[in-house]
């Protein structure tokens, strides 16, 4: 199969292209020898070895056979529906979409109708679901080794000042890191409802990013487990941590914080000594490999798409809870004081 990457920002150029290069080398049976096609509307984006870039989707798609091409939608979530619509009209049916699938419930409904109309096979990027660490936690819960899980705590922190203030597309901090955390929580503990949510603005050097400072969401799962997911986009350190508290112990996992080192770590604690293990965990590559296998096998896939819609619905409820009007600070008022 061939690949068409729409959008060469952080996700397209920084994640999808390196993973595709790795897979094309290690699993040639899934890919052709032709270069990857890409589309990016920005000026100054040049071709590189093994990649041909065009300024529009229509031009990038020229010469591609949609039946044997996987289109990667790596644009911000607010642009997913129009991009998917254009690709569908051009005949593309095999689609990989960056998380979250949609920015709100209205766009989600449009994408659901588009998928049904054109019989699209949509896989939404969620590497934590194929992570070795996630599967270790799933097995631990199923085994009952520490008894019933009671709470899950997910922390997703990183400094994200420049992109939050300069690059549009992610409406709130709920759309940046929390899709990973919500998907993980639902995978570990099952269906849930939102119990509470909060968000903060980003202020730095006179610049202001509404709803982009951080976000918190609380979930109560049908299984009785409570989950708290927190993301601070002003944190001085990067951290992707999950803690599961059981009746008779706890599990603390650390996901890889970047693509520089594909390892995660897991510490298990109970009444006895703790166990610590470092896991080989190239989750994004494994996720992409499984997606291409599904495309090659053919047939409509619904489980992953349904899961992705559930994540968007939970995030939308949380964002609605935090939907009070944004009041941008008045610099002059802030500068006044009473003597």
Q: Alpha carbon of 291 to those of 58, 63, 181, 191, 226: distances in Å?
A: 24, 23, 20, 23, 31
- 172-185 b/e with 16+ CB inside 10 Å = b? bbbbbbbbbbbbbb
Q: Which carries the bigger pLDDT value, residue 103 or residue 205?
A: 103
267 pLDDT above the threshold of 90: yes
pLDDT of residue 165: 72
pLDDT digits (tens, 9 = 90+) for 167-183: 656 788 999 999 999 99
Last residue of a domain, one of 282, 301, 327: 282
Angle 303-321/178-189 helices, nearest 10 degrees?
120
- pLDDT of 49 reads 80
User: Looking at the structure, do residues 119 and 136 belong to the same domain, yes or no?
Assistant: no
Instruction: Say if residue 83's pLDDT is above 50.
Output: yes
**Range from 44-48, 198-202, 314-318 that averages highest in pLDDT:** 314-318
Query: Residue 304 falls within a domain, yes or no?
Result: no
- Residues 208-217 have a mean pLDDT of 88
pLDDT tens per residue, range 275-294: 999 999 999 999 999 999 99
Question: Are 134 and 262 members of one domain?
Answer: yes
Question: What CATH number has the domain bearing residue 214?
Answer: 3.30.360.10
pLDDT at 259: 74
Cα–Cα distances (Å) from 337 to 21, 128, 203, 205, 332, in that order, read: 58, 49, 20, 20, 10
Q: Which of 239, 265, 282 is the last residue of a domain?
A: 282
Are 163 and 25 found together in one domain?
no
Residues 183, 303: Cα–Cα separation, whole Å = 13
CA 243 centroid distance within chain: 20
Same domain, 136 and 98: no
Chosen domain end from 106, 125, 144: 125
Burial degree of 187 (CB within 10 A; 0-12, 13-18, 19+):
middle
CA 143 to CA 266: how far, in whole Å? 16
- Assess if residue 116 is contained within a domain: yes
| Owning domain of residue 189 | 128-282
Q: Where are the alpha helices (DSSP H) in 247-302?
A: 283-297
Q: Is 27:58 a contact under the CB 8 Å cutoff?
A: no
Give a yes or no: residue 10 inside a domain.
Answer: yes
| One domain, residues 141 and 165 | yes
- pTM (2 decimals)? 0.90
Indicate if the pLDDT at residue 91 is higher than 90: yes
Q: Return d(Cα 228, Cα 189) in angstroms, integer.
A: 12
């Amino acid at each position: 199969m061939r690949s068409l990457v729409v959008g060469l920002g952080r996700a397209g150029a920084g994640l999808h292209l390196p993973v595709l290069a790795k897979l094309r080398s290690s699993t040639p049976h899934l890919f052709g020898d032709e270069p990857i096609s890409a589309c990016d509307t920005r000026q100054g984006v040049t071709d590189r070895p093994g990649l041909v870039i065009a300024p529009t989707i229509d031009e990038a798609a020229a010469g591609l056979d949609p039946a044997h091409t996987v289109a990667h939608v790596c644009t911000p979530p607010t642009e997913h529906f129009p991009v998917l619509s254009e690709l569908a009209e051009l005949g593309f049916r095999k689609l990989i979409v960056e998380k979250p699938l949609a920015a709100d419930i209205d766009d989600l409904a449009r994408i659901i109708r588009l998928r049904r109309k054109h019989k699209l096979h949509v896989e939404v990027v969620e590497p934590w679901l194929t992570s070795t660490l996630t599967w270790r936690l799933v097995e631990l819960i199923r085994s009952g080794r520490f008894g019933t899980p009671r709470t899950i705590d997910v922390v997703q922190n990183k400094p994200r000042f420049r992109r939050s203030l300069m690059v549009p597309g992610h409406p709130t901090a709920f759309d940046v890191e929390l899709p990973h955390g919500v998907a993980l929580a639902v995978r570990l503990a099952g269906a849930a409802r939102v119990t509470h949510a909060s968000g903060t603005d980003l202020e730095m050097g006179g610049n202001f990013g509404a709803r982009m400072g951080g976000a918190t969401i609380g979930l109560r799962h049908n299984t009785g487990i409570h989950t708290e997911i927190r993301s601070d986009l002003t944190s001085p350190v990067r951290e992707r941590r999950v803690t599961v508290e059981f009746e008779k112990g706890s599990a603390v996992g650390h996901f890889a914080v970047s693509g520089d080192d594909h390892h995660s770590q897991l510490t298990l604690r109970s009444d006895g000594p703790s166990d610590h293990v470092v896991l080989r965990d190239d989750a994004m590559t494994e996720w992409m490999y499984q997606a291409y296998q599904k495309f090659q096998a053919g047939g409509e896939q619904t489980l992953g798409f349904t899961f992705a819609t559930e994540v968007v619905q939970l995030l939308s409820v949380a964002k609605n809870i935090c939907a009070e009007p944004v009041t941008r600070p008045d610099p002059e008022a802030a500068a006044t004081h009473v003597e």
